[in-house]
Amino acid sequence: MKKKILLGILAGIGVFVAAGGIFVVNFLRGFDQIRLQHTKEVISPLKRKLDFSPYESELSKISDSRMEELNNLIFEKSIDEIQNSIRNGQLSCQEVVLYYISRIKEYDHKYNTVIQLNPKALEYAKSLDEKIKNGEEVGELFGVVVLIKDNISDKDMNTSAGAYALKDVKTKRDSFIVKKIKNQDGIILGKNNLSEWANFMSMPSSNGFSVLGGQTKNAYGKFDVGGSSSGSASSESLNFASVTLGSETAGSMIHPAGQNSVIGLKPTVGLLSRDLVIPISEAQDTVGIMGRNVSDVKKVFEHVVGFDSNDPLTVEATKFVFNDINFNNKYLQGKRLGIIDDGSSEKKALVEELKKLGAIIVNVELVGNQSEINYMPVLNYGIVHDVKAYLDNEAVITDIHSLNEVLDFNNEEPEKRMPYGAALHEDALKAELSKEEYEEIVQNNRKVASEIIDKTLEKFDVDALVSVSNELSAVYAPALYPAITVPSGYRENGEPYGVTFVGTKFDDMNLLSISYSYEVGTKHRVTPKVEK
């Protein structure tokens, strides 16, 4: 009975538990995400309204003709292109911010990708323009406008994970990764909506729904938006920012990125700090980066990796080497790539493309037993203990300090505050697991999962594994290994999907290079037609 209850509950992380162990699914088709997100959409009466007032005065000064010029200079353009336009005086940082704000204001009421705007973004942009005007040195991310998932803390905004109980939570300082971006003169524009509590709250759940943010929609139409970094993926595809940050426990970035035809990098865990990020489980959570091209993702990635004393696992960042892999369209030539051929049309097309680009495709089977990976105890422990650690952090300003208090708060108005219920939270609070038992399970999961990937790579002598969407998340996630997804096409009904490359520990630069070669060799991304 317990296994039936667990069937499908890991909506946000792309795996399910069944009699044979942990298996990958095509994201909860059984729960009918299309129905939940579209035909039976829950309209939250507690949805936070976006505040455009800090921008209204400056927006009103931009003429229609100038906005058209800005569109030509910014829409679908790379970071390098926009920075060059700023350098040569065609653009200002203020205009880049106002352009993205104008798009959010005009279109986001249909998509619910943004949950809060940064009231100080224009202030940051103005100070940056002054530095440029005065000939002062600026950071490598100057003019890069970033939206961050609403479980990542920025002192200028609330951090809620989409939960009404946390609507007033603020922090005394920025999270480490936000600080890294600001230190390079990147501009944080606001917060992205997400599947509430990173989709580890209810069963069933609607990908992309939170009480504070409403229901995020797919940029391409009535398709599953994916979860839990739904807002980060959809807003990136809709050109609401230069890049976005999401987070992943297992599939939470890779799946929505593929569903919205953008790049999604889930790095080796430990390279990007989780400091002041509301967790599911510190055992395998990571922040990740989404962009409309691989070069942009790489540029941001290179400036956010680093050791953070607030996140001991980032000692791994001190061992990471940014090797001199040159991005070029020939990188795939001679690369041996392993694929589990399931006979799908997507896999068939993918194999043909990769061969045309010079890759050697090897049919593989995963070496090892995935059923030995024990997910639920790790997630149950994390959502209780790791969430409490976040709420108890001296930098966090809140009156709520435990998952129990969150549940008690929600139960005061359950229909409004948790319309899908909180079955996963309730189960987690009932779970009995000592810290020692938890740590033993975590270490076993890491050992089993990493050996599956490493032994498969070794046995078949391949440079990386190739998959569609998040089908390998049940393995790469507990291994703490990197994955990156790239737009790979559109199904007959127009639904996007991505190819995902998976490697071993610290293989991030190799995967980025493979992805770049595939991206420029196929050019699959098509800009979504935006509804007003």
Report the catalytic residues.
149, 228, 252
- State phi, psi for 193 to the nearest 5 degrees: -65, 165
Least Cα distance to 375 among 455, 423, 431 occurs for 431
CA dihedral 342→347→351→353, nearest 10 degrees, is 180
Show the tokens assigned to 159: 């951090």
Distance of CA 193 to the CA centre of its chain: 11
Burial of residue 206, with CB atoms counted within 10 A of its CB: 0-12 exposed, 13-18 middle, 19 or more buried: buried
d(C-alpha 15, C-alpha 360), whole Å:
29
Least Cα distance to 402 among 421, 418, 413, 389 occurs for 389
Burial of residue 38, with CB atoms counted within 10 A of its CB: 0-12 exposed, 13-18 middle, 19 or more buried: middle
Helices (H), 397-479: 403-410, 414-417, 423-430, 435-459, 473-479
Strand 15-18 and strand 483-490: the pairing is: unpaired
Residues 6+ apart with CB under 8 A from 7: 16, 17, 18
Give 191's DSSP letter. Answer: E
Q: How many CA atoms lie within 13 A of 351 on its CB side?
A: 15
Burial of residue 365, with CB atoms counted within 10 A of its CB: 0-12 exposed, 13-18 middle, 19 or more buried: exposed
Q: How many CA atoms lie within 13 A of 167 on its CB side?
A: 14
Give 359's DSSP letter. Answer: P
- State phi, psi for 200 to the nearest 5 degrees: -115, 75
d(C-alpha 146, C-alpha 461), whole Å:
39
Show the tokens assigned to 32: 């009918």
| Residue 31 three-state SS | helix
d(C-alpha 145, C-alpha 121), whole Å:
9
